[in-house]
Copies of this chain bind each other. A is one copy, B any other.
């Protein structure tokens, strides 16, 4: 056997695989973050949040929303009952505030780079979920010094 490559996962390849594993973990949290944000905003704006409000917000069918709301309820982030409005639990409220804060910083950061408003809103919606505490801190520094 020539054995140019190790059979087991090398230290180097483990390092390379970690970013992808982290990205998958971020995507697993993404729906929860976007949903509690949306519930928070909708309640603020129109007093209550309904399944159809979220369906319109995300541009998906009410069926998709209904199922996801059920799961997030199981996870203790949302409260709801059949044909009733959706509210945030204390836990959901904390996640919403944390997520909104991070989202806002990412958005302002992109704007500070000179990205136009619409593009900044689009890109920040995806980027926010992949911004670690360290990167968020760096963005805050940039906003304070350069702005």
Chain B residues in 8 Å Cβ range of A56 = 9-10, 13, 17
Copies of this chain assembled into the complex:
2
A131 contacts B by Cβ under 8 Å: yes
Q: Are B123 and A21 in contact (CB under 8 A)?
A: no
Chain B nearest CB, measured from A81 CB (Å) = 21
Q: Are B119 and A20 in contact (CB under 8 A)?
A: no
Q: Are A116 and B134 in contact (CB under 8 A)?
A: yes
Chain B residues in 8 Å Cβ range of A116 = 134
Interface residues of A (CB under 8 A from B): 4-5, 9-10, 13-14, 16-23, 26-27, 34, 46, 53, 56-59, 110, 113-116, 119-127, 129-132, 134-135, 138-139, 141-142
